[in-house]
Amino acid sequence: MADDIPAPRGPLETRSPFWRRTGTVVTSAALAAALFGGIAGGVVGYSSAEAPVTPTATGTTVARQTSTSTGFDVSAIAAKALPSVVQINVTTTQGEGLGSGVVLNADGRILTNNHVVSGARQVTVTLADGRTVDAEVVGTDPNSDLAVVQATDAGNLTPATFADSDQVHIGDQVVAIGSPEGLQGTVTTGIVSALDRTVTVPGTGRRTVSYQAIQTDASINPGNSGGPLINAAGEVVGINSAIYSPATDGGEAGSVGIGFAIPSNQVTQILSRLG
């Protein structure tokens, strides 16, 4: 199978960022190329000096059963999930970038990918209602590519509900929500293409991030990073983290229907372990 997939182009200068806005290109670790089925991808990103900080994620709701309904009403799913999805804007020494995030509690605790906020000097969050508020990084786990930020002056938010990702099956319909290229609140649909897909993304030095991902063909593009993958009940089954995007003569192909999400059960375990 490995020989059938175009080899991704290699390191920093040949990859576009999974999270990007304007100005200087900033490349993250969990970006378009992934190692799965023996395919090597060249990307860079994590700071090897960064130490995990314990976040607090009280108020997160966890649902241990996904919906048994056979219906898939995208409008209803979007209406339920959109209030819990935010855009995260980051300024680093290299430029500006953006990603997405998932509300964990009403007081403004927000989950995202570590690579979205890695090296951030300033973080702001644009809420679903259009308000933009300041935020600070309060916890990171580079090894799982997860991070938590705290938004200020952002009370009464709508926490997302996390489902049991062990109940996800190949062929299940799913929805991805995020801010691809800054288009906040974008909703795309697809199916679960594969489960337990080993995704390994090289970081700086000897650091790598590896997890057993949910693979989906829902359209995921730069800016979706840190946003949710949603089931038919409007519950989070994964956090979108990487895409496979083969190179073209003009750069990268963008979404080609091969995206990867960190399973919700792994996410809740990390949050629990970190506090």
- Beta bridge partners, 240, equal 261
Dump the DSSP string for 88-115. EEEEETTEEEEEEEEE-STT-EEEE-HH
Of the residues 145, 164, 172, 217, which is catalytic?
145
Of the residues 84, 144, 225, 245, which is catalytic?
225
Residues belonging to the chain: 275
Of the residues 115, 172, 179, 217, which is catalytic?
115
Judge whether 230 and 181 are in contact, CB under 8 Å.
no
Phi, psi at residue 110, to the nearest 5°?
A: -135, 135
Instruction: Examine the residue annotation and report whether 169 is marked as an active-site residue of this protein.
Output: no
Q: For the chain, give me the number of helices (H) and strands (E)?
A: 3, 16
CA distances from 134 to 60, 87, 119, 161 (A): 21, 12, 16, 24
Helix or strand holding residue 272 (H, E): helix 264-274
Judge whether 44 and 11 are in contact, CB under 8 Å.
yes
Written as six digits, the tokens of 154 are: 């952002």
205 torsion bin: left (phi>0), alpha (psi -120 to 50), beta (else): left
Instruction: Examine the residue annotation and report whether 225 is marked as an active-site residue of this protein.
Output: yes
Instruction: Examine the residue annotation and report whether 115 is marked as an active-site residue of this protein.
Output: yes
Q: d(Cα 268, Cα 275) in Å, to the nearest integer?
A: 11
Judge whether 244 and 197 are in contact, CB under 8 Å.
no
Judge whether 91 and 99 are in contact, CB under 8 Å.
no
Three-class SS state of 13:
helix
Catalytic residues: 115, 145, 225
